[in-house]
Amino acid sequence: MTAPVAVALDAPDLATLERWARAVGPYVSTVKVGLQSFLRDGLGAVRTARDVSHRPVFLDLKLHDIPNTVAGAARSVAHLEPAFLTVHASGGADMVRAAVHELPSTQVTAVTVLTSLSGDDLDAVGLRGPALDAARRLAALAVDAGATAVVCSPHEVAAVRAEVGPDIVLITPGVRPAGAATGDQARVATPAQALADGADLLVVGRPVTGASDVAAAARSLAAELDALQPRH
């Protein structure tokens, strides 16, 4: 059984992405290709990640532009058939709706509030907070526009679940195994806490890919999460 984890393949080159994808594939449900790899390696990053891991790809581009441009961007990646494609909920309902229209077979995934942002950061950019209220508000807007998945921090996942109901996939970055460094994430939690609060898919990057043995780190995380599952 694979863990409900999307490993972020933010690799310095395509060869490293391939090595990481192959190492984590047996243990996790999803591999995530983000801007760093996609902008450098393009379609090859997605194809390599999927082909060597044998897992669905979460294409994390966080699109945020006028609806017409986002529609065009979504069309440009439709042939890659990503399982998930991220857009910023703050782009508005029409923008989210444009992506949904172009990608009927992909779960358009609305990013609410970046996990790197603190309350002071939200104030500075003029986003009405606190983060929990902003995340709930943006999640509801995106789901009403057709998004079927939402990204929020572990701190907001329980409130967002209550807001959007049981059928929306909740994805939580900012997940760190106990004792791991938080890096540039401001709102973090352990995998156990995120799942207990209602997350469906955990995004984990550096705690796995930064390990000396990437496969062992992924296997350990999968075992940790498997131990949390109720036994009948």
In this structure, what are the phi and psi dihedrals at residue 230, rounded to the nearest 5 degrees?
-65, 140
d(CA 119, CA 109): 23
Q: Tokens 């494609």 correspond to what residue?
A: 85
Residue 106's identity, in one-letter code, is T
Count Cβ neighbours within 10 Å for each residue of 86-98 and write b for 16 or more, e otherwise: bbbbbbbeebbbb
Specify whether the CB–CB gap between 173 and 5 falls below 8 A. no
Q: For residue 191, which phi and psi values (nearest 5 degrees)?
A: -55, -40
Q: Which of 22, 47, 62, 64 is catalytic?
A: 62
State the Cα–Cα distance between residues 156 and 136, nearest whole angstrom.
8
Sign of CA dihedral 47, 9, 172, 232: positive
Place of tokens 């703050």: 90
Q: Are 163 and 210 in contact (CB under 8 A)?
A: no
Active site residue 32: no
Give the amino acid at 32: K
Q: What amino acid positions are annotated as catalytic residues?
A: 62
